[in-house]
Amino acid sequence: MSLEPEAARPREGRAHEIRFTLNGVQRSASVGITMSALQMLRDVIGLTGTKYGCGEGECGACTIIVDGLSVNSCLLFALDCDGRELTTIEGLAGDARAKVLSQAFVEYGAVQCGFCTPGMMVQATHLLATQPHPDAAAAKRAIEGNLCRCTGYQKIAQAIVAAGQALAAGDQP
Ligand code: FES
Ligand code: FES
């Protein structure tokens, strides 16, 4: 039996107001109890850079950063974003690591149809923030939860390694 007061418990069919930081800005959203963070981002807030691939935690197209950890937003309840700090692909627009990475993605042919690219970029930027000079094995490990049907992964791993090297060499925008 829950000790939470009846009024405080989330209820099916009722909208719940949550507050969080999204890409550095304080936001609020009205969300349903079964809504995912991905649905909230795309359908409530209108940030469509985060992609819906499988909806089951298998493809990584929906990767975002929540309180410093990379997360499949399709598996996270929107309600659980309350009080948290979220970063999406849109939030990387001014990020120096992401800028070097995006240049490397283009240079190495790591973007083809582009569907996986936002999730890959979020994951790779997170990797470079936590491990600035990854080798190819570390780059492949970082993206093992992100599926790509086009590139064969090699080009993406090469781009991530090259971005780390460029950043280490001070080759920043
Ligand atoms: S849409 Fe979330 S992992 Fe595929
Ligand atoms: S570039 Fe097409 S799925 Fe990765």
Mutate to test the pocket of ligand 2, among 52, 113, 160 (most ligand atoms within 8 A of CB): 113
Residue 50: both structure tokens together: 């985060």
Q: What is the overall mean pLDDT for the chain?
A: 93
> What is the reported pLDDT for 6?
58
Does any ligand 1 atom lie closer than 6 A to the CB of residue 54? yes
Is residue 71 in a domain? yes
Could you tell me the pTM of the whole model? 0.91
Q: How many Cβ atoms sit within 10 Å of the Cβ of residue 154?
A: 13
Same structural domain, 99 and 87: no
Same structural domain, 55 and 113: no
**C-alpha 102 to ligand 1 mean position (Å):** 22
CATH of the domain at 24: 3.10.20.30
Instruction: Please say which residue of 91, 126, 148 terminates a domain.
Output: 91
The residue contributing the CA closest to ligand 2 atom 4 is 148
With residues binned 3-state (H G I as helix, E B as strand, rest as coil), the percentages for the chain, rounded to 5, are 40, 15, 45
Is residue 119 in a domain? yes
Query: How do residues 26-55 score in pLDDT, each as one tens digit?
Result: 999 999 999 999 999 999 999 999 999 999
At residue 60's C-alpha, the angle toward residues 106 and 52, to 5°, is 95
Contact 160, 142 (CB under 8 A): yes
Is the predicted pLDDT of residue 7 greater than 70, yes or no? no
